[in-house]
Amino acid sequence: MQFLLQIALAGLAQGSLFALTALGLVMIYNASAVVNFAHGAMGMAATYVAYVLIARFEVPFALAFAAALVAAFVLGAVVQALFLARLRDAPLLSQVVVTLGLFMLLEGLVGIAFGYNPRPMRESIAIAPVILGDLVLRPQDVLQLALLLILGVALAAFFAATKIGLGMRAITENTYAARLIGIPVGRLLAIAWGTGVALSAVAAVLAAPTTSVTPNMMDTIVVYGFVAAIVGGFGSMAGALVGGLILGVVVNLIDAFLAPELAMSIVFGLLLVVLYVRPDGLFGRAQVQKV
């Protein structure tokens, strides 16, 4: 029982990374109807900002983390304004293709600049693990879960009460109508992309001590982020959050009791079953296609 609880705990901690990635994906998807295949690569690129600041300039972790988030926000906003905005009227396939191209471009460029050798990143907080009865709580795990909950609440408040958040919901509902009533659609899309990519960067920087800093450090996490978003209905932020946490536990159960080498295969098998039974995810509502 205690073993199971420990696995569940590790799963929730790992799942919080999937959830953070998925939240960013859904935010971008809701704003622009684009699935951002460069999501993980953009978070990875921002992590290199933190890495360089810490390793070369000995900047404190919190400051480097903040710098990575700013870099991620700028990267997301610039990509939206430079590339996606031009493709507003292009077929959806072109928009997805461009994000895939960006994924390859970013991973390749970082690979050329830094090489593919993994570089170590220290744990973000250096305090001893907390013992809670029979359970061991790693401070890193607590930090991940705490950040996910704080950001989840902040995002809910953002969409419920701020003018920018309400404007984004209007864009999700009907972009054309939003433009007509004077919502600055272009600027809000850039903000949504920036914020979404910043969420990916939060996951990437938190993952770095475990995955090490490499050009493909986010590849696995972002694929699980996709799965979490689909399970959550791709469009629901709460669904993405819960989906990520569930997935984290599932992956840790597979690692412990089945075959860790086949974790992703088993997850995709389960995803096919979920999609077969509920095509709009566990938490999604059926969508009617608008013509």
Partner 1 sequence: MSRRLVIAILVACAVLPIAFQALGQRQVYWLFVISEFYVFAIVAISLDLLMGRSGQISLGQSGFVALGAYTAAILNQRFNVDLPLGMLAGAVTAAVASLVLGFPATRLRGHYLGIVTLGFGIAIDQIALKWDALTGGDQGIHLHRPALFGLDAGTPVRMYYVALVALVVTVLLVRGLTQTRIGRAFAAIKDSEVAAAAMGVPVARTKVLAFFVSAFLAGAAGGIYAFLAGFVAPEDFGIESSLLFFAMVVIGGMGSIPGAIGGAVVVDAVKNAAATVSGLSLALLGGMIVLVVLFFPGGLKALLRPRGARRARRHAPKGVVRQDA
Q: Which residues bind partner 1 (CB under 8 A)?
A: 35, 37, 83, 86-87, 90-94, 96-98, 100-112, 115-116, 215, 219, 223, 226-227, 230, 234, 259, 261-262, 264-265, 267-269, 271-272, 275-276, 279, 287, 289, 291
CB of 174 to partner 1, least distance (A): 18
CB of 31 to partner 1, least distance (A): 15
Q: Cα(72)–Cα(78) distance, rounded to whole angstroms?
A: 10
Choose between 105 and 157: whose C-beta lies nearer to partner 1: 105
Choose between 147 and 270: whose C-beta lies nearer to partner 1: 270
For residues 106 and 44, is the Cβ–Cβ distance under 8 A? yes
Cα within 13 Å of Cα(269), Cβ side: 8
Closest CA to 39 of 257, 197, 214, 227: 197
Choose between 223 and 253: whose C-beta lies nearer to partner 1: 223
CB of 141 to partner 1, least distance (A): 26
CB of 291 to partner 1, least distance (A): 5
The enclosing H or E element of 130 equals: strand 130-132
Backbone region of residue 12 per phi and psi (left: phi > 0; alpha: psi in -120 to 50; beta: other values): alpha
Choose between 123 and 255: whose C-beta lies nearer to partner 1: 255
Our CA angle for 92, 95, 101, nearest 5°, is 140
Choose between 5 and 33: whose C-beta lies nearer to partner 1: 33
54 burial level (CB within 10 Å; 0-12, 13-18, 19+)? buried
CB of 200 to partner 1, least distance (A): 16
